[in-house]
Structures are given as structure tokens and as C-alpha cells.
Amino acid sequence: MQDRTSEDLLTVEISPLGPEVAILRLEGEVDMSSAHLLSDELKRVAEGHLAELIIDATAVTFMDSTGLHALVEGKRLIHDEGTRILLVPSSQVRRVLELVFPEPLFASRMGTVDEARAVLNSRLDDRTDQAS
């Protein structure tokens, strides 16, 4: 049996969507072998002082307690910096969150990435109108 590296288990990629707005895409398994990749990226996001972040976890196929801890700790760091988060979970991530946190931990939990983008665009439009 071939050993898999954490990079084989989880892909973590951040892409800008506009000024102070980005999307963090997760793909694969978030477990004790790969959770550090998520933690590291969420720390970088917290240091980047974004206004809004979409976490696209629709391609996460497995998440254990280590992955959940990385996500929750990252959420805390990011919120402490004032960034609002829209989470788009896979069914596996949603199940873990609902089992551990009966009350929604992520207030903005979306069904699809398109839905999250629409919410962001609405917020950006509101900010533009207020600035005018």
C-alpha cells in the first residue's frame, strides 16, 4: 500500500473574487493527515484582512474531528479580523457540523456557491449604494 501525502488527500486553493473578497476551495479529505493545510490557509486568510470569504467545501468527501477543529478555529481567527464567512458545505461537512453543533456555527451556510456569490454581490451593491 502506498502512503499518501496530505497534498494527495486535500487540495486547498484561494482565489480573489474582487477587492477584499475571496473564495477558498477545499477538495478531498480533511482529517488528521491534512487538516494542517486547511489551518495554514485559514491563518493566511485571517492575516489578509478580507471583508468577505466564501468557503467552498462542496468537494470535501470526508471530515473528521481534526478537520472540524481546523475549520472552527479558522472561523474564529477570521471573524476576529472582521471578515464575514459564507460556508458552502458538502453533505459530509454539513452532517458533521449538524451533529456537533445543533445550532448553526456558521450563520451564513449556503446551499450552493452561486447562492453565496449572489449574497456577496448583494452586500457589495449595498456598500456601493451607501458610499454614494
CATH of the domain at 90: 3.30.750.24
From residue 98, how far is each of 56, 86, 87, 120 by CA, in Å? 17, 16, 13, 24
**Cβ-contact 85, 53 below 8 angstroms:** yes
Least confident range from 1-10, 26-35, 91-100, 108-117: namely: 1-10
Mean pLDDT of 68-89: 92
Has residue 124 got a pLDDT over 90? no
- How many CB atoms within 10 Å of residue 21? 19
What is residue 53's three-state secondary structure? strand
- Count of structural domains, the chain: 1
Residue ranges making up the domain that contains 105: 7-131
The verdict on residue 33 lying in a domain is: yes
pLDDT at 28 (0 to 100): 96
Joined grid coordinates for residue 124: 457589495
Whole-model pTM: value is 0.85
The answer to the question of residue 27 being in a domain is yes
Q: Is residue 1 part of a domain?
A: no
Any domain includes 2: no
